[in-house]
Amino acid sequence: MGIALRPIKDRFGAEIVGIDPGLDVDDATFRAVEDAWYGHNILLFRGVKMTPEQHIAFTRRLGPLHIMTPPQYNLPGHPEIFVVANVEEMGKPVGMRRVGLGWHTDGEDKKIPNAGSFLYALKVPPEGGDTMFADMYGAWEALPERIKRRVDGRRARFSRIAMHHVHYPYEPPLTDTQKAERPDVFHPIARTHPRTGRKALYIGRWACDIEGLPADEGRALIEELQDFAARPEFVYRHKWRVGDAVLWDNRCTLHCATGFDDTKYTRHMHRTTLEGEVPV
């Protein structure tokens, strides 16, 4: 029996039904999954039972894998897997805690942002800890024409240096070496997807201001765009179950983790990440 698609929110998001739980699939099935991903931005797989090797192998079929740095939160023996967790073993964190709060795309503060991410739930809290996803094709298409004219062709400044302490208050401050490795970058606010050719609003939590505009004006416009992108009509909120895996396209989708009581409950997840391309 072949796979089937179950739409989540109109054309935004789809659940893949009838796939092998280890995601060991033939070429024809994989191509159908890949086409569905480009057509729906995010894909949900329920009841997955993947080993780290299977997780890596499936993601690698979509493209080259990105190794997260610094490496202390990568899975030992499998550096392609970034661990999101609030637990410790032998007094050391198993993974990075409180990850992804605030609307963003993975790697948006880098010269070459990540193309996609694939997050697999091993343990989830009974309440909270959801992830929200926002359709940036839809956001761009719905933007008022006056705003489109202001931003189309312009670039936003994305800054790890300026925003690290805001988004990672539980991590050490950046060292001078880390700052030198992560200089500010500029990306188009209206980004064209390299595979679909569609235009998406590209704006997230690392954006600070806009090239060519006075700083105050640029910051105000960034905030307006960020608020617009998170409007309910563009958003799907995913309530995780153990065995869920979600694949999303960072080039046309924002996402945002939601909090939970991490002094009481455990959240443990594995993520693979795809290398991307310079945004255009």
31 has pLDDT over 70: yes
Enclosing H/E stretch for 131: strand 131-135
Mean pLDDT of 155-162: 93
Pairwise CA distance, residues 156 & 50, whole Å = 38
How many domains does one find in the chain?
A: 1
165 has pLDDT over 80: no
User: What integer pLDDT is reported at residue 99 of this predicted model?
Assistant: 85
Report residue 210's pLDDT band, with 50, 70 and 90 as the boundaries.
Answer: very high
Q: For 170-230, give the secondary structure using H, E and C.
A: CCCCCCHHHHHHCCCEEEECEEECCCCCCEEECCCCCEEEECCCCHHHHHHHHHHHHHHHC
Whether the model clears a pTM of 0.75, i.e. scores above it, the answer is yes
Mean pLDDT of 96-119: 94
Task: Give the domain CATH number at 95.
Answer: 3.60.130.10
Mean pLDDT of 216-223: 96
User: What integer pLDDT is reported at residue 93 of this predicted model?
Assistant: 87
User: What integer pLDDT is reported at residue 221 of this predicted model?
Assistant: 97
User: What integer pLDDT is reported at residue 189 of this predicted model?
Assistant: 98
For residue 54, give its domain range. Answer: 1-280
User: What integer pLDDT is reported at residue 75 of this predicted model?
Assistant: 97
* Farthest CA pair distance, the chain: 58
Residue 33 burial by Cβ neighbours in a 10 Å radius (0-12, 13-18, 19+): buried
88 has pLDDT over 90: no
Beta bridge partners of 248: 42, 117
Q: Hey, what amino acid is at 223?
A: E
Report residue 181's pLDDT band, with 50, 70 and 90 as the boundaries.
Answer: confident
User: What integer pLDDT is reported at residue 205 of this predicted model?
Assistant: 94
Task: Provide, rounded to the nearest whole percent, the portion of the chain with pLDDT above 70.
Answer: 100
Report residue 98's pLDDT band, with 50, 70 and 90 as the boundaries.
Answer: confident
Beta bridge partners of 82: 74, 271
User: What integer pLDDT is reported at residue 1 of this predicted model?
Assistant: 52
Average of per-residue pLDDT values in the chain: 95
Report residue 257's pLDDT band, with 50, 70 and 90 as the boundaries.
Answer: very high
Mean pLDDT of 69-88: 93
Mean pLDDT of 110-129: 97
User: What integer pLDDT is reported at residue 162 of this predicted model?
Assistant: 85
